[in-house]
């Protein structure tokens, strides 16, 4: 009887662990619907720090978590930026580029998929509309 109870406890705990939150993996990328409106623009680089893909401007005054349009992909070295109706662009981590978009409140990103990004990264979110080379 004890073995049966122990086996049941192990089965329940393993299913809870599988469904619970997980640390971000190198390929995890915050994505959302494409927003065409850009109210801010910065020149800087992407950095991968603490399991988060962040943007930091050249003056080190602004740091945020980019929320890329659906279809964008991160492979651990570069992001393929998907802008609907346009050619996809590659942005290498550490490469200088210009980013345009608008800040977005975490409350507006209410889907559970964004919670790990908010908890682990802690930086404000920024909806990406356009990117281009920095030089």
Q: Among 18-32, 42-56, 104-118, whose mean pLDDT is lowest?
A: 18-32
Look-up of token digits 């109210």: 39
Higher per-residue pLDDT: 123 or 134: 123
Enclosing H/E stretch for 11: helix 2-19
Q: Work out the mean pLDDT of the chain and round it to a whole number.
A: 83
The number of CA neighbours under 13 Å toward the Cβ of 22 is: 9
Q: How far apart are CA 52 and CA 33, in angstroms?
A: 20
**pLDDT exceeds cutoff 90 at 60:** no
Residue with the bigger pLDDT between 22 and 31: it is 31
Q: What is d(CA 49, CA 54) in angstroms, rounded to the nearest whole number?
A: 7
Strand order in the sheet with 89-92: 73-74, 78-81, 89-92
Pairing of β 63-69 and β 73-74: unpaired
Across-strand partners of 54?
Answer: 47
Express as a percent the part of the chain with pLDDT over 70: 80
**Which tokens sit at 95?**
């490469």
Q: Kindly report, residue by residue over 75-123, the tens digit of the pLDDT.
A: 988 999 999 889 899 999 999 999 999 999 999 998 898 999 999 998 9
Higher pLDDT residue, 11 or 125? 125
Confidence at residue 13, expressed as pLDDT on a 0 to 100 scale: 44
Q: Where are the domains of the chain?
A: 24-133
Residue 30 has pLDDT above 50, yes or no: yes
pLDDT value, residue 111: 87
């Amino acid at each position: 009887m004890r073995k049966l109870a122990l086996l049941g406890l192990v089965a329940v705990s393993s299913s809870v662990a599988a469904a619970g939150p997980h640390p971000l993996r190198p390929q995890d990328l915050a994505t959302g619907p494409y927003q065409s409106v850009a109210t801010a623009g910065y020149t800087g680089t992407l950095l991968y720090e603490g399991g988060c893909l962040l943007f930091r401007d050249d003056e080190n005054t602004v740091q945020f978590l980019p929320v890329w349009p659906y279809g964008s992909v991160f492979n651990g070295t570069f992001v393929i930026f998907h802008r609907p109706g346009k050619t996809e662009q590659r942005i290498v981590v550490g490469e200088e580029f210009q980013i345009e978009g608008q800040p977005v409140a975490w409350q507006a990103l209410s889907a559970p998929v964004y919670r790990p990004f908010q908890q682990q990264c802690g930086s404000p979110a920024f909806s990406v509309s356009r990117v281009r080379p920095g030089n």
